Amino acid sequence: MSNVIQTDEAIVPRLEAAAERVKRAHKAAASVIFGQDVVIERTLITILSGGHALLIGVPGLAKTLLVETLGRVLGLDAKRIQFTPDLMPSDIIGSEVLEEAPGQRRTFRFIKGPIFTQLLMADEINRASPKTQSALLQAMQEHHVTVAGTRHDVPQPFHVLATQNPLEQEGTYPLPEAQLDRFLLEIDVTYPDLAAERRMLYATTGTDERNVESVLSAGELMTIQRLVRQIPVPDKVIEAILKLVRSARPGTGASEDTDRFVAWGPGPRASQALALAVRAKALIDGRLAPSIDDVIELAEPVLKHRMALSFAARAEGLELAPLIARLAHAVE
């Protein structure tokens, strides 16, 4: 028991210092991206947890600016890929070219694609073919790509922020359930409120350029990511996570609503994602341990893309968000 207490006491100053740095990073990003505090926070939760995020929102809501800004604030190399139906896997991974020097044998040289970065924006990922989507999602899961039998590791840390437009669905290739499961959070990017949009008009239509400073380096970010995994989680929070995720699976008898309206539910990866996300949320808020309130707040972004309504539920006009909210509040 004494060892546990000593470990907790030793980690407190590091958690407090990390929380202060993350708070500065959040403030720096919010000074450029107006009215999207929740989006910034949940994106930071994703990155601090070591995961990837799926951003859902119509064009013009600063999703690209979010990636560029967080790249500068967190000290990460950031790149953007615009996904289109004719985009090939080699366009994002890279390809081998044949080189021939005078008096030497012909050799192949691998030219790295834009996936070899630390923070990648996959813009409108559902517009690319399944083959191209799989190439990206394999790198997300395994943190390396294989070309001509040779393994090439992506830089560390490696995070993907993919976007989808919820309105235009013609000519798109929806991500399969197994690939959606690889995203830690699904983040809804909504319109800013009136005050934020007013601030945006004044700030972006004048002559002043708003620049953000780097708050962290890639190495410091990785240190904080390791620290997040050391944050202790109370037993009651673990039990709440397990109860919530298991109640979202149809056929278990845990929830009548789930059995009636859900076609398929979240797997164990959802529990892992939620356990990491609540730790990161606690760090951002400056707390030493997560609470059940964190589980309730993050239930929707963790579970929404890992569940699907049945045909009968869709016919009745039901939506996932209210169902997840009911399941989440049932764990209190």
- CATH number of the structural domain spanning residue 285: 1.10.8.80
Q: Please report which helix (H) or strand (E) contains residue 41, including its range.
A: helix 37-48
Percent of the residues in the chain that have a pLDDT greater than 90, as a whole number:
42
* Confidence check: pLDDT of 131 > 60: yes
* Confidence check: pLDDT of 299 > 90: yes
Please state whether beta strands 119-123 and 144-147 pair in parallel, antiparallel, or not at all (unpaired). Answer: unpaired
**23 neighbors 37 (Cβ within 8 angstroms):** no
Is there a single domain that holds both residue 239 and residue 280? yes
Is there a single domain that holds both residue 324 and residue 176? no
* Confidence check: pLDDT of 215 > 80: yes
Number of domains into which the chain is organized: 2
Is there a single domain that holds both residue 318 and residue 239? yes
Alpha carbon distances (Å) from 162 to 168, 197, 216, 262, 270: 16, 24, 23, 25, 18
| Separation between Cα atoms, residue 222 and residue 49, nearest integer Å | 10
Residue-wise pLDDT tens digits, 227-252: 999 999 999 999 999 999 999 998 87
Is there a single domain that holds both residue 239 and residue 144? no
Domain that holds residue 255: 231-332
What beta strand segments (E) does 189-270 contain? 262-264
Confidence at residue 306, expressed as pLDDT on a 0 to 100 scale: 92
**For residue 280, what pLDDT band results from cuts at 50, 70 and 90?**
very high
pTM: 0.90
Is there a single domain that holds both residue 38 and residue 150? yes
* Confidence check: pLDDT of 4 > 80: no
Is there a single domain that holds both residue 300 and residue 252? yes
| Separation between Cα atoms, residue 251 and residue 97, nearest integer Å | 53
Rounded to the nearest integer, the mean pLDDT of the chain is 87
Residue-wise pLDDT tens digits, 90-100: 889 888 787 77
Is there a single domain that holds both residue 48 and residue 76? yes
Confidence at residue 90, expressed as pLDDT on a 0 to 100 scale: 87
Examine residue 99 and state whether it is found in any structural domain, yes or no: yes
Is there a single domain that holds both residue 199 and residue 95? yes
